[in-house]
Amino acid sequence: MADKSVVLVTGVSKYWGALVAKQLLDRSLPQLGDPKPAMGILQVIGVDTEPPKVEIKGLDFIQADVRNPNFLELLKTEQVDTVCHLVLDEDSRPGETAFDLNVMGTMTLLGACAEAGIRKVVLRSSTTVYGAKASNPAFITEKHPLQGDKKHGATGHLVEIETFCSGFRRQVPDMILTILRFPGVIGPHVDSGLTRYLKQPIIPTLLGFNPLTQVIHEDDVVAALVHAVFYDKPGAFNVAAEGNPPLSKLLALAGRSSVPVLHWLAYWSDPLMRNHWPVDLDYLRYSWVADLTQMRTELGFVPQYTAEESLREFAGAQRLGKYKSQEPVSAKDEELLKDTLERRRRMKEQQAATPVD
Amino acid sequence: MSNELTPEEGIFPADLQPTNSEEPVEVGDFVETMTEDFNDQSVGVSEQASKEELIIELNRLVDRIRAYDPDYQAPQFSPRGWLEMLGENVQHMAPEFSQKIYEKAKGAFSSDFFDPDTWKGLWFMLNYTVEYQTDFFKRRLTGEYEVDEWGYDPEFIGLFKPFFDFMYKKYWRVQTSGMENIPDVGRALLVSNHSGQLPFDGAMIGLAVMDEHPCSRLVRSLYASWFPTLPFISTFLVKMGQATASEENGVRLLEQEQLVSVFPEGIKGVGKLYKDRYQLARFGRGGFVRMALRTQAPIIPVSVVGAEEIYISIYNARLIARLIGFPFFPITITWPWFGLFGLVPLPTKWTIDFGEPIPTDEYGPDAYNNLNLVSQLTNQTRNIIQDNIRSRLAERRSIFTG
């Protein structure tokens, strides 16, 4: 291994990518874990379709799209050790663009990683992949079959990605593939499905249904991803905050009141109202609480915030920050990336040629 | 209440301080005690001795409020404020409490109404009660209440317990035996026959253990995964601390040293026809035995007699059931002909027998994979329950009087 481990973070101009890259560079390790991280000094390469809006100090930025055919070249040239793939369009509306980015993007990337012999890949997923079913156990373990609703945008994409990953693991047994499954993310800054739901002027719930819920704080998502980059923990892990309040308590803690809707009316109008419901209706009807035993034992990660703390913090600092990225077309340009890589190669050669004093 | 409160012995001396000797009482207890005191007073209206006793009692009560909550200050007394508060809040108070006030007001002497201390005493206590009750709802609305990881909400049980207490004590006159077979601490798996179209038997078993067991333990019933699809019922069951029937849930609960109850007959048992009463249906797939073997929890066979006759089901309308998405749709002699009145169960006499525990710790932790052992234990449990039911039925002279 090179003396400098190279970590490549995709989606670095978006919320999660930027924060994870920053944390990796700050090398602020989570407080828990074994004393010897598997990795040494880090060099962080950020990849995205557009430059970061706020400059991240020390980040090596390359403008590229993961679906770029020359991405493999990038991985090889830069001698990347670990890839942290954080590009995920979580728009709940199903669409070809999002499918192409989420599913095809991840598949292409994983293919390139296998080809380039990348040691480790970290992916972000969601506990919605288990699906909300009446027959769910109260605490869903990682081994539970993925029954998430495939019709439903990001959840369906994640189910596809994860199903692909389980086959991929067998094909490339040497690669460490870590998948972290998070529930609804909450926090003062993040724009997630859950925060969008909680920021609506009228919050719909289903009359007579009060499922147990699970949340995770935005800082803990970043900390968990950084943890997964530093330590080698192959497999899929549920990562969530301590505590699973009923939906009514969650809303109360978030300082919001709800409007209950007859469930059959809600289901009946679902095709029309789909864009107004933040999540699939079943997720408001049945519990989908993930079991956290593996997170504590195997992964060795403990979130800092409990569910109640993060909800209270959210209630205290509720503010709106719509955040939506737009892809410039140039990022998909093969030639452009090729040129960029060539330029970088030249620069490196120059650096190597210059005698160090 | 007020006949006893003479001006000389007024319950609010100015120098009254919270006494530390009294232990702080639970607020719930306090409100109950208060209503009891209202009751007691009618006994000794004429006797001076009991009068004084009651005044002391009332003074102590006020002390207890102050000891429990030293910061509590009743607002400044004024007759106008009194009337306003009474008018605004009587309908918000617990029904039994406001009824007591009305009764007492009727029985009081007219002179008491001119006694300012009467009104001051009522003012203090009413204010406290109202504050306590609004506090309860406020905490509910701001989410400051605790549930465990299964969603069990102890405060919630209090709202429904009176109804089930009535069904248990007055309506079905439940009799229990073998309560000593339930351990005081630690895990155990209660296995019971299931019947009754509506799962009242689960509630009664839970209530029996809660009320009659010396340690007043909570029973976690595992219910069919059809119930979570129903509004209100799903919420109710979760708040009562129960969980859906799956091996994962059962094992996790038992590992937390809980008392778990299962009904291996499942939906087949609930929807039993009257002609098949007390004939145990197939005992699931032996999932409950695997649960017990994995956690080495003793199996306690429970036989419920009486529940199988609360509805006289004559037919299972499968087509209707399929149309509305129910696992079965019973046609009883009253349902659906009399609408919701058809849901009133018959007042049969119930007995619940808790049998000798069947130990499972001698088989080792991997025994749950032994299909032979699982089916053998399943049959053993089933036979014990069936035998207990038979012997109980042989003793029983009448369905309604036992």
Average confidence (pLDDT) over A253-266? 88
More confident call, B26 vs B81: B81
Least confident of A148-162, A209-223, B248-262, B362-376: A148-162
What are the φ and ψ backbone dihedral angles of B216, each rounded to 5 degrees? Answer: 50, 60
Has residue B336 been placed in a domain?
A: no
Angle, helices B371-395/B287-295, rounded to nearest 10 degrees: 110
CB proximity B149 to A under 8 Å: yes
Least confident of A4-8, B220-224, B261-265: A4-8
Domain ranges for chain A, please list them.
4-319+332-353
Q: Is the ipTM of this complex over 0.90?
A: no
Q: What is the residue-wise DSSP string for B306-325?
A: SGGGSS-EEEE-HHHHHHHT
Mean pLDDT of chain B: 81
Asked if residue B57 and residue B91 are part of one domain, the reply reads yes
CA atoms within 13 A on the CB side of A188: 8
Flag if B231 and A208 touch (Cβ within 8 Å): yes
Which domain-ending residue is among B142, B168, B192? Answer: B142
Q: Report d(CA B263, CA B281) in Å as an integer.
A: 11
* Helix residue ranges, H only, B90-212: 95-107, 116-142, 154-166, 200-212
Which domain-ending residue is among B90, B111, B142? Answer: B142
Mean pLDDT of chain A: 83
Place of tokens 């049959």: B379
Dihedral angle at the C-alpha atoms of A51, A52, A54, A57, nearest 10 degrees? -90
Does the domain at A4-319+332-353 match CATH 3.40.50.300? Answer given as no
- Residues in A closer than 8 angstroms to B234, CB to CB, are 208-210
Q: Quick one: DSSP state of residue A290?
A: B
Q: Say which of A137, A207, A286 has its CB closest to residue B248.
A: A137
Question: What are B202-232's pLDDT values in tens digits?
Answer: 999 999 999 999 999 999 999 998 889 999 9
Task: Categorize the per-residue pLDDT at A325 as very low, low, confident or very high, splitting at 50, 70 and 90.
Answer: very low
Q: How many CB atoms lie within 10 A of CB A264?
A: 11
Asked if residue B365 and residue B237 are part of one domain, the reply reads yes
Q: Is residue A320 predicted with pLDDT exceeding 80?
A: no
What's at B147, amino acid-wise? V
Question: What are A70-123's pLDDT values in tens digits?
Answer: 999 999 999 999 999 998 888 756 678 888 899 999 999 999 999 999 999 999
Quote the tokens at residue B392.
């109980």
- Residue B266: strand, helix, or coil: helix
Least confident of A259-273, B16-30, B188-202: B16-30
- Whether residue B336 has a cis bond before it, omega within 30° of 0: yes
Least confident of B7-11, B268-272, B346-350: B7-11
Dihedral angle at the C-alpha atoms of B208, B209, B215, B219, nearest 10 degrees? -140
Q: Is residue B233 predicted with pLDDT exceeding 70?
A: yes
Asked if residue B233 and residue B366 are part of one domain, the reply reads yes
Q: Report d(CA B249, CA A254) in Å as an integer.
A: 29
Report chain A's terminal Cα–Cα distance, integer Å. Answer: 26
Predicted confidence at residue B325, as pLDDT, reads 84
Asked if residue B300 and residue B175 are part of one domain, the reply reads yes
Task: Categorize the per-residue pLDDT at A1 as very low, low, confident or very high, splitting at 50, 70 and 90.
Answer: very low
Asked if residue B224 and residue B171 are part of one domain, the reply reads yes
Asked if residue B383 and residue B268 are part of one domain, the reply reads yes
Asked if residue B158 and residue B132 are part of one domain, the reply reads no
Question: What are B13-59's pLDDT values in tens digits?
Answer: 434 434 443 444 444 444 444 444 444 444 444 566 777 777 777 77
Predicted confidence at residue B132, as pLDDT, reads 74
Flag if B232 and A250 touch (Cβ within 8 Å): no
Q: Report d(CA B334, CA B345) in Å as an integer.
A: 9
- Residues in A closer than 8 angstroms to B228, CB to CB, are 134, 285-287
Partners of B190 in the β-ladder? B261, B300
Has residue B334 been placed in a domain?
A: no
Q: Say which of B147, B149, B248 has its CB closest to residue A249.
A: B147
Has residue B340 been placed in a domain?
A: no
β-strand pairing of B299-305 with B351-354: antiparallel
Quote the tokens at residue A315.
């209630």
Q: Is residue A328 predicted with pLDDT exceeding 50?
A: no
Asked if residue B134 and residue B187 are part of one domain, the reply reads no
What's at A169, amino acid-wise? R
- Residues in B closer than 8 angstroms to A286, CB to CB, are 228
CB proximity B87 to A under 8 Å: no
Which domain-ending residue is among B104, B120, B142? Answer: B142
Average confidence (pLDDT) over B319-328? 89
Predicted confidence at residue B102, as pLDDT, reads 64
β-strand pairing of A4-10 with B243-244: unpaired
- Residue B14: strand, helix, or coil: coil
- Category of B257 on φ-ψ map: left (φ > 0), alpha (ψ -120 to 50) or beta: left
- Which residue in B has a C-alpha nearest to residue A293's C-alpha? B252
Asked if residue B262 and residue B183 are part of one domain, the reply reads yes
Contact B158, B230 (CB under 8 A): no
What are the φ and ψ backbone dihedral angles of B328, each rounded to 5 degrees? Answer: -155, 160
Question: What are A26-78's pLDDT values in tens digits?
Answer: 764 443 344 445 455 678 999 999 998 888 888 889 999 988 889 999 999 99
Q: What is the CATH number of the domain that holds B304?
A: 3.40.1130.10
Has residue B189 been placed in a domain?
A: yes
Has residue B212 been placed in a domain?
A: yes
Flag if B143 and A134 touch (Cβ within 8 Å): no
Asked if residue B251 and residue B375 are part of one domain, the reply reads yes
Task: Categorize the per-residue pLDDT at B292 as very low, low, confident or very high, splitting at 50, 70 and 90.
Answer: very high
CB proximity B246 to A under 8 Å: yes
Least confident of A185-189, A218-222, B163-167, B232-236: A185-189
Place of tokens 């593939």: A177
| Count of domains observed in chain B | 2
Instruction: Residue B132: give the domain boundaries.
Output: 2-142
